[in-house]
Structure 1
Amino acid sequence: MKIALLSYSTKPRGGVVHTLALAEALAAAGEDVTVWSLGRGGDAGFFRPVDPAVRVRIVPFPDGPAEETVGERILRSIATLRAAFDPSPYDIVHAQDCISANAVDGRCIRTVHHIDHFTTPELADCHERAIVEPYAHLCVSRAVADELTAGWGIKPAVIPNGVAYERFATTDPVARAAWRERLGRYVLTVGGIEPRKGSLDLLEAYALLRIRQPDVRLVIAGGETLFDYRDYRAGWEARAVELGVEPVVLGPVGEEELPPLVAAAEVFAFPSVKEGFGLAAMEALAAGVPLVVRDLPVLREVFGPAALFADAPQGLAAALEQALAKADPDRRKAGRHLAARHTWAEAAERHLGFYHRSSPAASTPLRNDYEPSAPNTRLG
């Protein structure tokens, strides 16, 4: 099959990581795969090297005027990708986000990673069209699939993310030691400072934690995003001053530096208020790092007994302290086992089956082939 996977960015966001890993696994299975994306800020390639078996098409997307609004940038993103993309060579066009789905006018398969609720009119329209217009839908968790069914009457298939298990499970001890020497004992979160990531709640929890664990630092990595969270970030920084805490904000971390940074952490915090799967948290489990997540149905589904669950901020602080104070080898073993079960090879195989069934020329009806691996609904 000739397959096009479309993404809106070259930066290391969860959906982009998913797109590249899936593309490489599909190519390893013998498929003809091309990844399309917008190259923002002069980017001519993705945040990491891509397997040469995958074709890469980066559409230049120059910076707009200083007064350009988020809504205007969304519309310009859609128009730019639409003007460059030609669907005719491909048997399957698979969009990973609302921008790319709108760029192909919904003539695609769409993975809905999570469901957002926007107030900007252009974003709200982009989100809605990218749900209702594609001819077939995938989700990476049952919880998000159920949201689609409840809100739109759509019954998507569920194919969980894969995980680069070995990359996080077997990190360089010298690199880990370097991060520990630089940062000391630390709680890590990956994903930047933004509302969806629950950054303010984590900050409040950290202030409570430091009362009893004054030597522990909060480290924040990542943060590339399409949206403008400057006001939220300013409020977060002002609150940090009020609380008397100084988190370490690393920003984007290099591809080779991230696994040892994760593996050297005492605890990985994942207080998101909305998620579709939690790939960064699953990578932390692969590294054997204790995991504290917000108590959401989707995260209960994905992580089950491998994580500690809490509501913020007092509950988060208590869970972080518990993870710091007491090693739990059984939970760590469960976490590594869970992460190891999520392979990109299996994800690619299941995508191929879905592509064949959902092709416009297919004669067989679509069905959801997701089966829970156990009564507690952990993904398999």
Structure 2
Amino acid sequence: MKIALLSYSTKPRGGVVHTLHLAEALAALGEDVTVWTLGRGGDTGFFRPVSPAVRLRIVPFADGPAGETVGQRVVRSIATLRDAFDPAPYDIVHAQDCISANAVGRCVRTVHHIDHFTTPELAACHERAIVEPYAHVCVSAAVADELRTGWALRAEVIPNGVAYERFATTDPAARVSVRSRLGRYLLTVGGIEPRKGSLDLLEAYALLRADHRDVRLVVAGGETLFDYRDYRARWESRAAELGVAPLVLGPVPDDELPVLVAAADAFAFPSLKEGFGLAAMEALAAGVPLVVRDLPVLREVFGPAAHFAATPGQLATALGHALTAEDPARRAAGRELAAAHTWAEAARRHLALYRSLR
């Protein structure tokens, strides 16, 4: 079967990570897989090496004019990918986001999470990318329920996999090196943006510092299509008011991420909106105590393997517990949960869906 998987970026965002792992797992099953994406900022490849069994088609996407809005950039992204992509050679065209779904026309669509945009171009893009695809996949039942309630659409629920061994078997010497450089630290991955609950985590960290002065907050990641400069400025201003100085690493090289995760004392995942929580599942694979926002979708995905909290105060309390209390049963449950989510199984379930649609 010839399969096209489409994403909007080469950068390390959750949907892009998902796309590459799924493509490689489908190719390992013997399928003919091509990944299409936009090469932003002069990119000619993805943020990590991709199996040679997967074909890559990276469409150049030049920087826009000065003053280009997010809405204008989205419209230009759709047009650029649409002009380059020909669906004719493929048996299945599977879009992983609203930009690629708008660009390719008739397709299968993975809805990772439901957004609520106010920018007109984004709102229209989001709506079309939900209602126009002829089949839908969600990575959790909670998001599938949102599709059913909001649009009367039925989605196939296929959870993410996780690169378990990559996070579970990091080099002890490398972990010691990271610890010697960073000390004790609380890690979050995903950058500083509204959906990630960054301001709430900052407030929680300031409260946590009352009893854990030696623990640093480390923020990794942050590649995004959107402009969060105003939110970042608010975050930095609030950090100064609170008298805290988190370490903001920005995007971390892919080969350095597993040891950064594994060396952390706890992992914070206070997102306000998620479809699955792949970065948090990677933390469980590494055996790191996990604190997540108390959302139905994260209750569904993580169950007894995580601590849950809704407010900054509750986040601080849960993080304090994660930092101090030995909890081997929860740690074991986390590793077991992460190990059960394989990309091979995700690929087999996608392939069964594709065959049912032909």
Interval of TM-score (by shorter of Structure 1 and Structure 2): over 0.9
Number of the residue aligned with 1:267: 266
Number of the residue aligned with 1:20: 20
Number of the residue aligned with 1:188: 187
8 Å contact kept, 1:202–1:312 = no
Q: Distance in 2 between matches of 1:313 and 1:358?
A: 45
Q: Distance in 2 between matches of 1:330 and 1:43?
A: 44
Q: Distance in 2 between matches of 1:178 and 1:254?
A: 16
Any gaps of 5 or more consecutive residues in structure 2?
none
Q: Distance in 1 between matches of 2:51 and 2:154?
A: 33
Q: Distance in 2 between matches of 1:132 and 1:172?
A: 46
Read off the aligned partner of 1:49 and give its amino acid letter.
P
TM-score scaled by structure 2? 1.00
Number of the residue aligned with 2:249: 250
List structure 1 runs of 4+ shifted beyond 2 angstroms: none
Describe the SS at the equivalent of 1:154. Answer: coil
TM-score scaled by structure 1? 0.94
Number of the residue aligned with 1:54: 54
Give the deviation of 1:342 after TM superposition: 0.3
Read off the aligned partner of 2:217 and give its amino acid letter.
L
1:2-21 maps to which residues of 2 (within 5 A)? Answer: 2-21=2-21
- Percent identical: 80
Read off the aligned partner of 2:328 and give its amino acid letter.
P
Number of the residue aligned with 2:211: 212
Give the deviation of 1:231 after TM superposition: 0.2
Number of the residue aligned with 1:90: 90
Read off the aligned partner of 1:81 and give its amino acid letter.
L
Q: Deviations over 1:67-109 (max 9, x none)?
A: 100000000000000000000000000000000000012x000
Number of the residue aligned with 1:157: 156
Describe the SS at the equivalent of 2:209. Answer: helix
Q: Distance in 1 between matches of 2:185 and 2:128?
A: 42
Give the deviation of 1:358 after TM superposition: 1.9
Number of the residue aligned with 1:198: 197
Q: Deviations over 1:23-47 (max 9, x none)?
A: 0000000000000000000000000
Q: Distance in 1 between matches of 2:20 and 2:221?
A: 17
1:1-380 maps to which residues of 2 (within 5 A)? Answer: 1-105=1-105, 107-359=106-358
8 Å contact kept, 1:141–1:298 = yes
Any gaps of 5 or more consecutive residues in structure 1?
360-380
Q: Deviations over 1:281-328 (max 9, x none)?
A: 000000000000000000000000000000120000000000011110
8 Å contact kept, 1:23–1:33 = yes
Read off the aligned partner of 1:277 and give its amino acid letter.
F
Q: Distance in 1 between matches of 2:173 and 2:9?
A: 32
Number of the residue aligned with 1:375: none
Q: Distance in 2 between matches of 1:249 and 1:312?
A: 22
Q: Distance in 1 between matches of 2:120 and 2:258?
A: 38
